[in-house]
Chain A
Amino acid sequence: MMEQFGLLRFIPLIPLAGAALNILFGARLRPQFAGFLACGAVALSFLVSLAVFWLLPASGVFRDVLFIWIDSEPFKAQLSFQADALTAVMLLVITGIGLLIHVYSLGYMGDDEGMTRYFAYLNLFVFFMSLLVLADNLLLLFVGWEGVGLCSYLLIGFWYEDHTNTIAGNKAFIVNRIGDFGFLLGVLLLFWEMGRQGVWTLNFSELERAAHLLRPESVTLITLLFFAGATGKSAQIPLYVWLPDAMQGPTPVSALIHAATMVTAGVYMTARLHFLFSLAPATLAVIATIGALTAFFAATIAVAQNDIKRVLAYSTVSQLGYMFLAAGVGAFSAAIFHLFTHAFFKACLFLGSGSVIHALGGEQDMRKMGGLRRYLPTTYWTYLVAALVISGAPLTAGFFSKDQILWQAYASPNGSTQLWLLAWLTAGLTAFYMFRQLFMVFHGACRVAEPAKARLHESPAAMTVPLVLLALGSIFAGWLGTPDFMWGSVWDPWLQSVLGVQEAVDDAAPGGELFLMALTLGIAALGFLLAFLLYGRESRVAERIAATTIYRWLAHKYYVDEIYDCVFVRPFTACARWLAQIFDPGFIDGFVNGVASTIRAGSLSWRRIQSGDVQHYLFAFLAGTLLIFAYLLGR
């Protein structure tokens, strides 16, 4: 059932207009005004999203066709938006949490010179992100997909005066492009395979109808390529390395782009294309394994980080791993549910850490914090709530959504005990590193250096109000999806219209879910206890642990960055250098002047050869011609 709903287009267009106004006229406006303009744009967008959410019929789809984008028989793509239950959820997260973060930014970026630019980028991001979730075909989705990558790049390198920031931005962009390349190949391959069946389309609903025509092996390849794109955007093994570095950007950006929305685009895409993924059990197994491994792996790294934001970054990678685990076992609705709750508590944590950093004048090292509870009460309480939620304290959002994933990982037909075990261990680690952080930052003796200590202050209302709202959201957002033995889930039936009815979980052991829940609570409590023992009291144990080899390994993130540098980056740059400096001049000159001058020419840059003699050019010309003729004669 499709219904025309003309308001849809305004969800992305209003932020786009905001961004355009800020870019074009920003220089002439007061910075404060730029901020309000951006907030207003997102607020309007949020209202429209609410209307969509409210009016959306139980199993219906809203469409909004703008115009026909590409029309070349037999292929036709429209620039049109669609909103179903899945999109509506994503829209609420993007515009709702986006709005809170915009407001927070008013306080956080209040005295930054580049405020206009900042809000322009932020609005542009909301535009692309909503485009991504509203797209009704893969092509438009890809537009949004690239666009959010661009915005992320611009915002990571926002403080471009510091060179490490631009490098981090480049890293994020390049790693993402590797994934995007896979994604684009996937789109092309899908397009081609569908075309061979006579269906030239990239529209989601048409693809869903025709998905059964595809050959199983090509579906597997296509979905694997799509997943390669997802590992880039959503920071999974092996392409997760950019996300921790992306923390160089302003903290609200980390909260919005690198925790709540953009990094979840991969999960969203997987859910949007669930009809393809469901046809490829091999891919699902890969996704589940990589998700579980990423969740565990990133959590262990988070244990040993001392930078307040890096802990959260690895935690995000870990939680994204949970989402992919859920998707991989076929529980797409659980994945989206966790995406939804995660957006609240992780945004809250990031904004809380931003508040701490703001109060300390830019300090991010947790070893130089401590005892901040007294100075930043509101931040402390909201942080505590969010930490409890992410650790899975009973009756909070994290408890319900994580429990669902763990249960599915164990009991779903695609699940297994090993997957569950990894996820279960991760739950314990999560509690440990979160409370390690909480204790190091807010408890114990204050280790803040003297001049900064005197200026310690609670953040302004623009920052604390979003924190409180997000903390409340973290608790209650989960009540939408409680297990069956409580009041049941309103979530699953709502998404069923999009994601289809999930295969019934084997109900042989009715008490199973309850039992697993207890186990999870147990290990989380254990993690909390350990954190308290090691970091909650003034003990020397922590320092001794810090000296162990394992800890060093973890602190250096298993040296993955270094390995990548050695295995991929250096050979590539060396190869490029070789081509530019040795091969090109060597090749051309070698023919002309013989071996002796090749050695000499090797030391010259190839540019000097280029500006050199016409004879060389003519020689290359002739050599090319002769080659072609050699081909002609040798055929």
Chain B
Amino acid sequence: METNLAPLLPSAEVVLTALSVLLLDLFIRKDEKGLLVWISLIGLALAGGMALFLWGSHEGAFQDSILLDDFALFFTELFLGAAAITILSSVHYVRETNIHEGEFYALVLLSTFGMILMAAANDLILFFLGLETMSIGVYILTGMWRERSQASEAAMKYFLIGAFATGFLLYGIALIYGAAGSTHLGRIASALGQTKSHGSIILSAGVFLLFVGLAFKVAAVPFHFWVPDVYDGAPTPVSAFMAVAVKAAAFAGWARIFLYQLSPLQSEWTLPLKALAILTMTVGNLLAISQSSVKRMLAYSSIAHAGYLLIALVAGGESGGQALLFYLLSYAAMTFGAFGVLIALKEGENDHEAYSDFAGLGFKRPFLGMAMSLFMLSLAGFPPLAGFTGKFYLFRSAVVAGHIDLAIIGALNSLLSVVYYLRVIVMMYMEEGGAEGKPFARAPYLYLAIAIAVLGTVYLGVLPAPALDLSRISFISLH
């Protein structure tokens, strides 16, 4: 039997790294655990190198249920980068909170593996397996700080609601299988072309259940209620990982399934998706305003950004896909940065996550203050930062697709968001007496992660052309 294993290379490398970390962790002393960070990072770098090497190829494995195209590779690189930044920014965090390091890194890697599978899956069953691998890893990561009751509560809630959503997703897949006779996306797409009379209501029901399951993962309103509690309770690096990578994985699946394979059905879900986008942006932004904890504010802001990203899905087409991929990149940079600064404020048992803890940070830690200002301005969509360019393309795609109302609501929403993002800057530069913040010497890895995020935020804003090209090429490779 001829089997092409090349498409599996990056993900296999990630699993291998995870297993090595898990095993090695059992046999080394506590003061040697720094080694695990290096192994994880090297493993991720190797996987990244493989993905880079495979760039441009277009092949499938296991009867095309896994595809290796630029789209999958783009997301692979994004997830690998997200995992690397998460690991970098949690090195100090896990030591302060007595989280088991080996398991922590191994779980980050295993979730990353699940995400890669989600982006590459061309079969609903495989997609589901990837999603579950990712989700179970993240459920555990959420509750890993066992000394804190909020973390356990968050993990429990996440797990319960996640299981609920999984039920919807799985039932949707079952219905689609019933209607189309296959779980393979390509065959579903061709079945769509042949017949529409028989089973079209079952198919639609299945598609909408799939839609709900994915809407839960990207945290769209009204499937968002878990987000503030879970992000708030989870260890901060994990919150960042969820906000960026889990969301990106769900959007990757959404793009492949809905924007490409099921695009003939687009007219069916455009209206609910549009309602979802508007609701998500608006509720996220409105509720973010009244928060007193920056971590919760960031949770709501991630909901609002999911709403912006949904605009691209409504718009669809080449410009929508390009905008989606580019915004995910920009969003990753600025969100990791913002959570990174939050981690830097933590001191021992004190999380220092309230707005008042940021008071005076701009003078006590000029680098952290400046970085946080950049992230906040970028999230609010100020030029010339990544957030502005990303939003510009999102709204542009909406306008191009004829949804000018979405663009206007999106612009109004980003206007609204300025209120709470700016409050952080006001706190940092115009008040006094907050938390100290870790100096560079005590958290070099974290500073490295923040510096990477700063570079990303500025680079994507000032010189977006290469990344935009990349996004476009990756999205086109679906077809």
Contact = CB atoms under 8 A, between A and B. Distances in A.
Q: Do chains A and B touch in the complex (CB under 8 A)?
A: yes
Contact of B229 (A71, A173, A611): A611
Given A185-B408, A580-B286, A610-B225, A173 B422 contact: yes
Nearest to A610: B228
Interface string A490-532: 0000000000000000000000000000000000000000000
B157 A614 contact: yes
Contacts of A69: 462-465
Interface in B204-232: 204-205, 208-209, 211-212, 215-216, 221-223, 225-226, 228-229
A142 B391 CA distance: 14
A192 interface: yes
Nearest to A20: B370
A606 B287 contact: yes
Nearest to B382: A146
Contact of B389 (A70, A185, A584, A618): A70
Given A139-B383, A184-B411, A580-B289, A629 B223 contact: no
Contacts of A154: 429
B271 interface: yes
Contacts of B366: 23-24, 27
B301 to A, nearest CB: 15
Nearest to A579: B286
A485 interface: no
A143 B223 CA distance: 36
A460 B472 CA distance: 61
A70 B211 CA distance: 33
A417 interface: no
B122 to A, nearest CB: 26
B407 interface: yes
A620 interface: yes
B302 interface: no
Contacts of A157: 426, 430
Give the one of A72, A157, A618 with max B CB within 10 A. A72
A457 B271 CA distance: 71
B457 to A, nearest CB: 15
A606 B225 CA distance: 12
A68 B395 contact: no
Main secondary structure of the interface of B (DSSP, over half): helix
A628 B465 contact: no
B430 A160 contact: yes
Contacts of B377: 150
Nearest to A79: B462
B191 interface: no
A70 B160 CA distance: 44
Interface stretch (B49-57, B161-169, B304-312): B161-169
Contact of B223 (A177, A181, A195, A624): A624
A72 B468 contact: yes
Contacts, number: 122
A195 B402 CA distance: 13
Interface in A371-419: none
B202 to A, nearest CB: 11
Main secondary structure of the interface of A (DSSP, over half): helix
Given A185-B408, A580-B289, A584-B287, A617 B226 contact: yes
Contact of B415 (A70, A177, A610, A620): A177
Given A185-B411, A580-B289, A166 B426 contact: yes
A161 B6 CA distance: 62
Contact of A621 (B208, B225, B271, B407): B225
Contacts of A146: 382-383
B126 interface: no
A577 to B, nearest CB: 8
A27 B422 CA distance: 24
Nearest to B464: A70
B399 interface: yes
A155 to B, nearest CB: 12
B272 A628 contact: yes
Interface string A614-633: 10111011011100110110
Contacts of B271: 631
A580 B290 contact: yes
A67 interface: yes
Interface in A12-58: 23-24, 27
Contacts of B96: none
A110 to B, nearest CB: 21
B130 to A, nearest CB: 22
A548 to B, nearest CB: 41
Q: What range describes how many residues of A lie at the interface?
A: 35 or more
A566 interface: no
Interface in B419-467: 422, 426, 429-431, 462-465
A576 interface: yes
Given A70-B465, A173-B422, A632 B164 contact: no
A560 interface: no
Nearest to A178: B415
Given A69-B463, A139-B383, A160-B430, A177 B161 contact: no
A212 B130 CA distance: 55
A68 B468 CA distance: 12
Nearest to B471: A72
A491 B260 CA distance: 60
Contacts of B462: 69, 79
A2 interface: no
A610 B468 contact: no
B57 to A, nearest CB: 24
B384 interface: yes
B405 interface: no
Contact of A71 (B322, B430, B468): B468
Contacts of A610: 225, 228-229
A188 interface: yes
Contacts of B393: 72
B418 interface: yes
B204 A632 contact: yes
Contact of B205 (A67, A173, A607, A632): A632
A585 to B, nearest CB: 11
Given A71-B469, A146-B382, A181 B161 contact: no
A67 B463 contact: yes
A132 B190 CA distance: 53
A79 B229 CA distance: 43
A621 B216 contact: yes
Interface string A174-188: 000100010011001
A458 to B, nearest CB: 34
Interface in A53-91: 67-72, 79
Nearest to B326: A72
Contact of B382 (A150, A170, A611): A150
B464 A23 contact: no
B35 interface: no
Nearest to A160: B430
B289 A177 contact: no
A7 B439 CA distance: 40
Given A72-B465, A192-B404, A631-B272, 6 more contacts: A143-B383, A170-B426, A611-B229, A614-B157, A614-B160, A628-B211
Q: What 9 pairs between A and B have smallest CB-CB spacing?
A: A160-B430, A617-B225, A624-B222, A71-B465, A143-B383, A580-B290, A620-B222, A72-B468, A625-B212
23 contacts: A70-B468, A72-B472, A139-B383, A143-B384, A157-B426, A160-B430, A160-B431, A173-B422, A188-B396, A188-B411, A576-B286, A580-B287, A606-B287, A610-B228, A610-B229, A611-B229, A618-B160, A620-B223, A620-B225, A621-B161, A624-B223, A631-B271, A635-B268
Interface of A: 23-24, 27, 67-72, 79, 139, 142-143, 146-147, 150, 154, 157, 160, 166, 170, 173, 177, 181, 184-185, 188, 191-192, 195, 576, 579-580, 584, 606-607, 610-611, 614, 616-618, 620-621, 623-625, 628-629, 631-632, 635
